[in-house]
Amino acid sequence: MFLCGTPPVLGLKALEVGVDIFCSADMNELRNKAKKLGSLFINLLNEKCDQFGFEIMSPTNDDLRGGHVSICHENGYAIMQAIKEKGLIGDFRAPDVLRFGITPLYMTYENIYDAVEIIREVMQTKAWDRAEYMTQADVT
C-alpha cells in the first residue's frame, strides 16, 4: 500500500500519446495485420528453421490464433536464453515452449524476418548450448 506517490508527469505525457495512437487505430486493421504477421512468422520458421526440431504449437489457421506464436523444442529454455541475449525477447513456458508476442500496432514485417533470422542463427551456431543457459531460473 502507498508504494507510489504522484506518477511522473513526463512519463504520463508519453503514455498519453501512445494511448491516443492506440485509440485512433482501427481494430479490424490491427487484427488483420496480426494475422499476417503471425502467418509470416510461422511460414518463415517452417522455411528457415525446419531442420532444428521445432514444433509449432499455435494454430496455423489465422482465425484461431491469438496474438502470439508458440513453438516447442526439447532445449527450449536454453534456446530462449540465447535468443534473449541477441535482443529478441520472448517468453518461456515450462517444460519446453517458446512464446513470441505479435504486436501489430508497432511491429513490422521486417521485425518478423529479423526475429526468425535470430532464431535460425542461434540454432545453426548452437549458441544456446552453453552451460549458463542450461540452469533454469526460478522465474522464467
Cα 15 → chain centroid = 22
Residue 2 lies in a domain: no
- Structural domain includes residue 3: no
The count of structural domains within the chain is 1
**What CATH number should be reported for the domain holding residue 57?**
3.90.1150.10
Domain span at residue 56? 9-134
pLDDT tens digits, residue range 37-56? 999 999 999 999 999 999 99
Tens of pLDDT, residues 57-88: 999 999 999 999 999 999 999 999 999 999 99
Query: Which residue from 91, 51, 85, 75 is spatially nearest to 135, judged by alpha carbons?
Result: 75
Residue 104 lies in a domain: yes
Residue 4 included in any domain: no
Residue 1 lies in a domain: no
- Give 21's contacts (C-beta < 8 A, 6+ positions apart): 105
CA 131 to chain centre: 24
Residue that is written with C-alpha cell 490464433 in the block: 65
- Residue type for position 79: I
